[in-house]
Amino acid sequence: MGVKAENRSAHIKVCRTLGQDGRTLPLQGHVGFDSLPDQLVNKCVNLGFDMNILCVGETGIGKSTLMDCLFKANFDDTVHSHRSPGVEISQHLYNLREGNVKLRLAIVDSVGYGDQINKENSFKPLVDYIDEQFENYLQEELKIKRDLVTNHDSRVHVCLYFLVPTGHSIRSLDLVTMKALDKKCNIIPIIAKSDTVSKSELESFKANIMKELRENDVEIYKFPTDDETVAEVNKEMNELMPFAVVGSREDVK
């Protein structure tokens, strides 16, 4: 009986008096630990979210177009030359809002990747950039007075690796680069401009890519299947790897 009375009292209007001569404060709304999920959701929505995407692929393969298509926005579209002497990392920060949800988006581009005659160390600037972001976050955590809430977390959340639609097999440059990155970030392989190959060639190409990745022990991101609520959907998503995409800045109706 005591438990029932206690639960019932949570829904009754309760007042608190501050001191003997203090004013009376009515508690607004329901008071209980079942409101904790709502409080966490409100806190996350107020703070906003961070997303850092590393786009790796040749110049002109469609990285910028796909980003515009994914977020339905017009981001920076600087035209880069194929004559870059080396690979450069270009980072652009954007503040997006969809409904009442705020997103701090960082798009990191690999300018000049794969354009050199000697591609032996093309992956090194990418690895150095990822390691640098880990080090920056570590140094912020080691401070006596940390500011992890308002400080921008620049660690790479996902690497979208754009593959050239050759229709045959994956290039050695792609294998070496993905092998160097697979222990440092989540890699999602993407076949860019997939409309340039036929459907039968695309299925064969995807099978060859997955076969070569397994043979070379390259680990790519797998959607988790341990949660029963999303296990079936994520299993289907894993079977679609690598994703074949077509980007466009124009709405087709």
Write the pLDDT tens digit of every residue in 135-164: 998 888 888 887 766 777 889 999 999 999
pLDDT (0 to 100) of residue 129:
94
Instruction: Report yes or no: 49 and 71 within 8 Å, Cβ to Cβ.
Output: no
Distance CA 149, CA 204 (A): 46
Tell me how many helices (H) and strands (E) the chain has.
7, 8
pLDDT (0 to 100) of residue 87:
86
* 79-87: average pLDDT: 73
pLDDT (0 to 100) of residue 31:
67
Residue 126 CB contacts under 8 Å (≥ 6 apart), including other chains: 54, 56, 87, 89, 110, 113, 177, 180, 181
Lowest mean pLDDT among 53-67, 70-84, 104-118, 234-248: 70-84
Lowest mean pLDDT among 19-23, 100-104, 120-124, 157-161: 19-23
pLDDT (0 to 100) of residue 5:
44
* 67-85: average pLDDT: 78
208-236: pLDDT as tens digits: 999 999 999 999 999 999 888 889 999 99
Model confidence band, residue 86 (pLDDT cutoffs 50, 70, 90): confident
Bridge partners of 115, per DSSP, are none
* 72-101: average pLDDT: 82
Distance CA 197, CA 246 (A): 11
Report the Cα 191 to chain-centroid distance in Å. Answer: 18
Q: What is the pTM of this model?
A: 0.81
Average model confidence (pLDDT) across the chain: 83
Assign 3-state DSSP to the chain and report helix, strand, coil percentages, each to 5.
35, 20, 45
pLDDT (0 to 100) of residue 210:
93
Which pair of tokens denotes residue 49? 């979210």
| Length of the chain in terms of residues written | 253
pLDDT (0 to 100) of residue 143:
84
Residue 106 CB contacts under 8 Å (≥ 6 apart), including other chains: 50, 51, 52, 53, 91, 92, 93, 94, 152, 154
Highest mean pLDDT among 12-21, 85-94, 172-181: 172-181
Distance CA 191, CA 46 (A): 36
Q: At residue 181, does pLDDT exceed 90?
A: yes
Q: At residue 128, does pLDDT exceed 70?
A: yes
